[in-house]
Amino acid sequence: MAAAERKCVIVSASPDCDPSFIERSVCCGDFIVCADGGLDTLAKTSLKPDLIVGDFDSAANENIFPDVETITLKVRKIDTDTMHCVDVCLERGFSEFLLLGATGGRTDHALANLSILLYLQKKGAHGVISDKYNDIMLLHPGENKISAISGTTVSVLPFGESSACLSYTGMSYPLDHGTVTVDYPYTISNIAVEDEVTVTLHSGSALLFVVHGNE
């Protein structure tokens, strides 16, 4: 199957990453990449990676999967292991990305991983960061139709720019061309009242969080 027809799943090294959640999130045919310490998480599942990338300063054992293609990075470098995985897979033709193990643990790493969503969008690709509490994605300009079971919590936060102009349908708190700024993010904890909601991004840039709650 060609890269353009497959989803690239990057497993990073968050200490909060649940192996059972990883197994539920990966689909047959996905291209699985371990970013350094993500190798340890994947080793606790029944899954096998297609590619391993890292400087191996956080992986307990870099030889868990000795027959898998491995790219060894220098410890002193300008990008993170996760970002390097993204660049490698963009070069190989992937355009759909799912990042797991990318939140929790160190907040600086989590913020850097959120910034990867901006990077992917600028490269013409699409990414989702998922953990057992949230699915996080960058809104694209115009209408964004989101499948969210009625009663699901949905939050939107400006990201990458100082503000975002938004409209909602299908949610408990409606919004019509509301401007949300980074220093007053009032668009938190809205509730879907339909199984599909629409968030329209008129201007600016924003992240959308679909909250699963504790699983």
Range of the domain at 41: 3-132
Tell me which of 70, 102, 132 is where a domain ends.
132
Tell me which of 106, 132, 158 is where a domain ends.
132
Query: How confident is the model over 63-113, as pLDDT tens digits?
Result: 788 899 999 888 888 888 899 999 999 999 999 999 999 998 889 989 999
Query: How confident is the model over 188-214, as pLDDT tens digits?
Result: 999 999 999 999 999 999 999 999 864
Q: Tell whether 173 and 126 lie within a shared domain.
A: no
CA 194 to chain centre: 24
Q: What residue has token string 């949610």? A: 171
CATH of the domain at 108: 3.40.50.10240
**pTM, whole model, 2 decimals?**
0.92
Q: Tell whether 51 and 115 lie within a shared domain.
A: yes
Tell me which of 109, 132, 155 is where a domain ends.
132
